[in-house]
């Protein structure tokens, strides 16, 4: 299913709009920050998702993330449809530093963007604790609550939100100093008002 999206500019006070086709959605450790500039490419407001998942904990995380967005005040709704090109799934990759990632695809963006599809992934190397956890120099062990934080963050990208450094769902870091799922930020795994405002500024 394709969706024609008009060019929209979000207010500076809101969470930034998504830029680029592929990006690290949620970072586990603290590598060099990747800057995602602000361009006018919102993605889908009402999204069909085909779930293709291996781990039961990933299924739980995506289900909880969908529920938290659908239950928020954001003008954004996700529905399951197995024939959709959009998918949420898991992957295993020990050579990267992200615990979640989202790929966005557009057919064209001149003058308006035609959204094609997305793929959002949980990296089970981290989320299933294959990477040694519990070391304050790396990250805590993943639980259903922190996996939900990663999945909900990725679905924020699907809604068109970019990273922001404050204590909101779209903070790029799960762990580490100032990470969204730490005591610094109050263990965020639901959209905060800034995340919701960012979506609603687009739709």
Q: Is the backbone peptide bond immediately before 111 cis, with ω within 30 degrees of 0?
A: yes
% of the chain beyond a pLDDT of 70: 67
| Contact indicator for 95, 24 with CB cutoff of 8 Å | no
Residue 127 three-state SS: helix
- What local confidence, expressed as pLDDT, does residue 61 receive? 93
- What local confidence, expressed as pLDDT, does residue 87 receive? 87
- What local confidence, expressed as pLDDT, does residue 135 receive? 59
Distance, CA of 18 to CA of 4 (rounded, Å) = 16
| Contact indicator for 152, 120 with CB cutoff of 8 Å | no
Average model confidence (pLDDT) across the chain? 74
Residue range 158-178: mean pLDDT, rounded: 91
The architecture CATH gives domain 13-27+40-202: 3-Layer(aba) Sandwich (3.40)
Q: How confident is the model at residue 97 (pLDDT cuts 50, 70, 90)?
A: confident
Q: How confident is the model at residue 45 (pLDDT cuts 50, 70, 90)?
A: low
Residue range 74-80: mean pLDDT, rounded: 88
Give the start-to-end residue ranges of the domains of the chain.
Answer: 13-27+40-202
Residue 193 has pLDDT above 70, yes or no: yes
Q: Select the more confidently predicted residue: 5 or 83.
A: 83
CA within 13 Å, CB half, 156:
34
Q: How confident is the model at residue 154 (pLDDT cuts 50, 70, 90)?
A: very high
């Amino acid at each position: 299913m394709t969706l024609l999206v008009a060019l929209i500019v979000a207010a500076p006070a809101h969470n930034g709009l998504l830029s680029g086709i592929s990006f690290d959605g949620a970072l586990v450790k603290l590598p060099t920050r990747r800057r995602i500039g602000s361009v006018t490419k919102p993605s889908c407001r009402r999204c069909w998702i085909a779930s293709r998942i291996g781990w039961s904990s990933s299924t739980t995380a995506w289900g909880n993330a969908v529920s938290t967005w659908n239950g928020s005040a954001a003008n954004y709704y996700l529905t399951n449809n197995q024939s959709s090109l959009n998918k949420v799934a898991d992957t295993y990759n020990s050579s990267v530093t992200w615990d979640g990632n989202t790929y966005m695809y557009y057919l064209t963006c001149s003058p308006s963007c035609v959204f094609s599809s997305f793929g959002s992934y949980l990296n089970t190397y981290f989320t299933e604790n294959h990477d040694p956890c519990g070391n304050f120099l790396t990250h805590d062990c993943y639980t259903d609550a922190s996996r939900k934080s990663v999945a909900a963050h990725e679905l924020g990208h699907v809604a068109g939100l970019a990273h922001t450094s404050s204590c909101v769902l779209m903070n790029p870091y799960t762990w580490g100093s100032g990470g969204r799922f730490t005591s610094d930020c109050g263990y965020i795994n639901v959209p905060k008002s800034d995340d919701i405002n960012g979506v609603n500024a687009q739709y």
